[in-house]
Amino acid sequence: MEAYKFDFFKELFYHVPSINLQGDPMKTNAIPKTIKKWLDKNAHIVHEFHMEEDEWGEEHEGPWSIWVYFKLGWRNELHYEHQIHEPTVKDFMDATLFIKPCDCDDCTFSQES
């Protein structure tokens, strides 16, 4: 259900073209090539990342999902979180379209310290 809401929101409000990637579940703990390339290209905003064997991935026939945590000053604007947690490459790449600079109290206070 969440993926449907996400696509609906993206298409209606952001008019972002669809990314033509496989929505295949992540079946191992190896980081998929597409995500690895994105992580390398965006190392300036990524604090850490890891693959997790969890129920979220299993709901999408996984069992793996990926967690990416951002450095201070960045957030996933769709969920107003400082991370992305997705079970497929397509879902991950769709979520990256919503990464924006963040000036929340947590980010600005931590940067001043």
- Amino acid 36 reads K
Residue 7: predicted pLDDT: 42
Q: What is the pLDDT of residues 11-54, one digit of tens each?
A: 433 333 333 344 455 677 788 899 999 999 999 999 999 988 87
CA 16, CA 99: separation in Å to the nearest integer?
14
Write out the two tokens for 65. Answer: 């999902």
Q: What is the pLDDT of residues 51-97, one digit of tens each?
A: 888 776 556 666 788 999 999 999 999 888 999 999 888 999 999 99
Residue 92: predicted pLDDT: 93
18-to-15, 44, 82 alpha-carbon distances in Å: 9, 25, 23
CA 88, CA 27: separation in Å to the nearest integer?
10
What is the average per-residue pLDDT within 93-108? 91
Is the bond preceding residue 63 a cis peptide, omega within 30 degrees? yes
% of the chain surpassing 70 pLDDT: 67
Task: Show me where the domains of the chain are located.
Answer: 2-7+32-112
Q: What share of the chain is helix, strand, coil (3-state, %, to 5)?
A: 40, 25, 35
